[in-house]
Structure 1
Amino acid sequence: MLLAKNENAVHMREKQIANEIIGLLIANHDTAITNVVNHLAEFPHIYNEVYKEQMEIAKSKAQGELLNWEDLQKMKYSWNVARETLRLAPPGQGAFREAATDFTYAGFTVPKGWKTYWTVHSTHKNPKYFPDPEKFDPSRFKGNGPAPYTFVPFGGGPRMCPGKEYARLEILVFMHNIVRMFKWEKLIPGLRLIYAPAPIPEKGFPIRLHPLHN
């Protein structure tokens, strides 16, 4: 970004660069975390599995010792819960794509320059790849997980979101801390998402926290 120029050989302004970096660091983190909290409230058996996994990690730490990278690698079930959340409510819904060359797909000729809109739900909610696609089921991601390029909340290929690993770290550290300290209940039954442009609760997401320890 510091070196990039537009067609008039003008560099990006400092404010533009700052906005791009802020977007990389915090874009949609609240969306993903809110929906994780929603699903853990809705499915107590899933909350219990996450709690058990996180407590095993907590018990292996010395007093006051912080999480490290190895601890994050042990949070396999918790990350499966987060991934299933991202499958059902991905932060980005889709993007426009432009054909770089003429090509034929499924009997249709697509000319160079043709713009199409692609949405993640073309695979995320496709029963061919995710049976019973509206069901919340973290076990879909056990083992090798879904087929390549079917689960794409961060995109895929060379243009995959560079913040993917940061998002993973942020979500897992949040889950580790909240489930060890609290149970919670939703104060508004159900959760209707609206897209503005990321999926957010229509009426906010008030919860009542119940501390697990004095």
Structure 2
Amino acid sequence: MAGDTKLQTMKYTWRVAQELMRMIPPVFGSFRKILKDTQYGGYDIPKGWQFARVEVLTTIHNLVTMFEWSQVYPEEKITRQPMHYPSMGLPIKIKPRIPKFV
């Protein structure tokens, strides 16, 4: 599967990233858009895409596929401030995944 196809099939991942950025914006302002079809890091990036989108999708993909996640405090309580929020900030531990060979 080509790199551009992989990015274009990550619609759910992009929706999650958009909701997270809506709730907790990393910065205020706008993102730059690609003016013409280009290639970066082995990925085809279509005209009109935002560089931030590519970075967010590839970062999430790598974090989910290359690392195992676990909560530091599995019994952590959820508070309301005014929205639901983990009382300790939901610290996590991540460790590299061990590749499984067939």
Match of 1:87 among 15, 22, 38: 22
Query: Structure 1-normalised TM-score?
Result: 0.28
- In structure 1, give the amino acid aligned to 2:12: Y
TM-score by length of 2: 0.52
Q: What is the Cα deviation at residue 173 of structure 1?
A: 0.6
1:213 corresponds, among 91, 94, 98, to 98
Check if 1:163 corresponds to 2:48. Answer: no
CA–CA separation in structure 1 for the residues paired with 2:56 and 2:63: 11
Q: Tell me: CA distance 1:170–1:190, structure 2 relative to 1, closer, same or farther (3 Å).
A: farther
> How do 1:67-78 residues align onto structure 2 when only pairs under 5 Å count?
68-78=3-13
5+ unaligned residues in a row in structure 1: which ranges?
1-59, 62-67, 94-153, 155-160, 192-202
Matched, 1:178 2:47: no
1:31-180 mapped onto 2 (5 Å cutoff): 60=1, 68-92=3-27, 154=29, 161-163=30-32, 165-180=50-65
How much has 1:212 moved relative to structure 2? 3.7
The structural deviation recorded for 1:206 is 5.0
Question: CA separation in 1, counterparts of 2:17 and 2:69?
Answer: 18
Give per-residue Cα distances to partners, 1:65-124, cap 9 Å, x unaligned: xxx33321111011011011111111236xxxxxxxxxxxxxxxxxxxxxxxxxxxxxxx
Quote the offset at 1:178 in angstroms. Answer: 1.6
What CA distance in whole angstroms lies between the structure 2 residues aligned with 1:75 and 1:181? 17
Give the percent of matched residue pairs that are identical in Structure 1 and Structure 2.
Answer: 38
Q: Deviations over 1:162-213 (max 9, x none)?
A: 436111111101111121122212436579xxxxxxxxxxx98853124443
Cα shift readout 1:115-166 (whole Å, capped 9, x = no counterpart): xxxxxxxxxxxxxxxxxxxxxxxxxxxxxxxxxxxxxxx5xxxxxx243611
SS class of match (1:185): strand
Unaligned runs of 5+ in 2: 34-49, 79-87
Q: Compute the RMSD of aligned alpha carbons.
A: 3.3
